[in-house]
Amino acid sequence: MTSASLAAALDSTNLRLDAPAADIVALCHEAAKHRFACVMIYPASVPLAAEVLKGSGIKIGTVIGFPSGRFSTAAKAAEIDEARVAGAHEVDIVMNYAALRDGDLDLVDRELRSLSQRAHGHGQLVKVIVETCYLDADQRLTALRLCEDAGVEFIKTSTGFGSAGAKVDHIAAWAAARRGKIQLKASGGIKTLGDARALLAAGATRLGTSNAASILAEFTGSAPAAAPTAGY
């Protein structure tokens, strides 16, 4: 792994509830400097990011149905449409994981297929957040199958607002069970280079983190190694 390949695996994220515009501008400049995979921000911040990142080649990602996933399919579709007009290249859609837990797989399947088709029609890359901390092992594999059947590019572990974030064993189980080319995104609680290395080794190809710059600095030796983290 090189510093460039590590940077290209990081979705530099600011989903803080109190983040001012100045922080979003700083996030964008940092992403352009380090060549992160994308910035991941709230929908209302997308127009600002599009202005700051114009001509940089850095992708803009935003969240849909966030953080609960308990929105109507029509509401999520409208968010996707507005995000594309505003300049978002990638959408991280929160699955209605409550419906999955209740066993209403038809509802989840119909919604994911519909939203995937809509976003792909806009040329957007789709990641589906399933909030693994609230799913058991069988439900996590069911979520993987539903995402594969919907044709999305990524399945993603967490919103960062649940009871826990990304787990190495959850990523490894998905990597072993996937049937095709779906990719895995780990997010939530990724604070150190050690966290990043472990999740990438388990099979993740994207990491969502609000600590992208510090993880990269740790890799290049321009910052001291951070203490290992446990859990979220």
Our answer to whether residue 33 is catalytic in this structure is no
Looking at residue 223, its pLDDT comes to: 64
Looking at residue 33, its pLDDT comes to: 97
Q: Which of 59, 76, 127, 156 is flagged as catalytic?
A: 156
153-186 burial string, b = 16+ CB within 10 Å, else e? bbbbbbbbebebbbbeebbbbbbeebeeebbbbb
Fold category of 3-220 in CATH:
TIM Barrel (3.20.20)
pLDDT tens readout for residues 22-78: 999 999 999 999 999 999 999 999 999 999 999 999 999 999 999 999 999 999 999
**What predicted TM-score, i.e. pTM, was given to this entire model?**
0.94
35 Ramachandran zone, left/alpha/beta (phi>0; psi -120 to 50): left
Our answer to whether residue 92 is catalytic in this structure is yes
Looking at residue 200, its pLDDT comes to: 98
Query: The dihedral of CA 52, 58, 63, 64: what is its sign?
Result: positive
Domain boundaries, the chain: 3-220
Q: Which of 92, 167, 191, 195 is flagged as catalytic?
A: 92
34 φ, ψ (degrees, to nearest 5)? -95, -10
pLDDT tens readout for residues 65-106: 999 999 999 999 999 999 999 999 999 999 999 999 999 999
pLDDT tens readout for residues 125-174: 999 999 999 999 999 999 999 999 999 999 999 999 999 999 999 999 99
| Gap between the Cα atoms of 62 and 45, Å rounded | 9
Looking at residue 222, its pLDDT comes to: 82
Q: Which of 76, 185, 191, 195 is flagged as catalytic?
A: 185
Our answer to whether residue 185 is catalytic in this structure is yes
